[in-house]
Amino acid sequence: MIPFRDRNPSGAFPYVTIALIAINVLVFIHELGQDGRQLQSFVDAHGLRPAFVSELARGNPSLAHYAAPILLPLLTSMFLHAGWLHLIGNMWYLWIFGDNVEDRLGHFRYAAFYVLCGLGASVVHVAFNPDSRVPTVGASGAIAGVLGAYLVAFPRAQVDTLIPLPFFLPLVISLPAIVVLGFWFALQLVSGLDAVTMVQTGGVAWWAHIGGFVFGALLLFVFQKPPERRRVYAYRR
């Protein structure tokens, strides 16, 4: 399933969502402007390496003076991407689903919500990959939080979805968000459980997606506007 539009206009301009997309794109352009060695150094410095965080949490004295550069990637890693497809896929989901969540929470609370979801996703990734020294990058964990909040807030919203079929005959169908995002989460969960039994040397951070999604679904209840201040939605079919 590839969602490409929701029929759930928010009625409010998504300032923060657009700003987040712009920041991610600008950081990626900065990545493109570096040569191989510079880029590797940049990713090493700002990507999340779970083993370092785990060793710091265990009280490794040799890392005591490096707490800031070890912990800062919990935040900075969510603004880096590994390639064009990685960036476009993440920003596409953020564009489709972010505006409604931003409207439900309000601009400033949405910004805080996004960062907290990203941090929560990073912590879960570290917990499931405590010995990995592979730098992890991407906004997927934070955006998964947006998806989790959207599913809880707007389960009946219709999402136009592309379903690939054999012989390059795609099917376009409108499905409820609970089906589209529920399927997305189920895929992450199955993949994450499968990854637990494998030695991870890189690839997709499934548990960051799972953790971010759950964080977003729960944090919605803390960050959303009071009922009397929420916009009343009339779902389009």
Q: What is the pLDDT of residue 209?
A: 95
| Residues 205, 141: Cα–Cα separation, whole Å | 9
At a CB cut-off of 8 Å and minimum separation 6, what does 150 contact? Answer: 97, 100, 101, 157, 177, 181
CB atoms within 10 A of CB 117: 29
Average pLDDT (45-64) is 87
Q: What is the pLDDT of residue 145?
A: 98
pLDDT greater than 80 at residue 72:
yes
Q: What 8-state DSSP symbol labels residue 105? A: H
Strands 158-163 and 171-176 come out as antiparallel
Average pLDDT (213-224) is 96
* Contact between 8 and 235 (Cβ < 8 Å): yes
Edge-to-edge strand ranges of the sheet holding 2-6: 2-6, 158-163, 171-176
Band the pLDDT of 184: cuts 50, 70, 90: very high
* Mean pLDDT computed over every residue of the chain: 90
Q: What is the pLDDT of residue 235?
A: 58
Q: What predicted TM-score, i.e. pTM, was given to this entire model?
A: 0.92
Summarize pLDDT for 15-42 with one digit per residue, the tens: 999 999 999 999 999 999 998 889 999 9
Average pLDDT (137-153) is 96
Q: What is the pLDDT of residue 154?
A: 95
* 47 vs 234, residue with greater confidence: 47
At a CB cut-off of 8 Å and minimum separation 6, what does 52 contact? Answer: 63, 66, 70, 133
pLDDT greater than 80 at residue 181:
yes
Q: What is the pLDDT of residue 192?
A: 87
pLDDT greater than 90 at residue 231:
no
Band the pLDDT of 62: cuts 50, 70, 90: confident
Segments in 197-235 forming alpha helices (H):
206-223
Query: Which percentage of the chain shows pLDDT scores above 90?
Result: 70
Average pLDDT (222-235) is 82
pLDDT greater than 80 at residue 237:
no
* 72 vs 10, residue with greater confidence: 72
Q: What is the pLDDT of residue 202?
A: 55
Summarize pLDDT for 77-107 with one digit per residue, the tens: 999 999 999 999 999 999 999 999 999 999 9
* Contact between 159 and 177 (Cβ < 8 Å): yes
Q: What is the pLDDT of residue 115?
A: 97
pLDDT greater than 80 at residue 146:
yes
Average pLDDT (6-14) is 90
Q: Where are the domains of the chain?
A: 2-229
Q: What CATH number has the domain spanning 2-229?
A: 1.20.1540.10
Query: H or E element: which one contains 3?
Result: strand 2-6
Phi, psi torsion values for 219, nearest 5 degrees: -65, -20
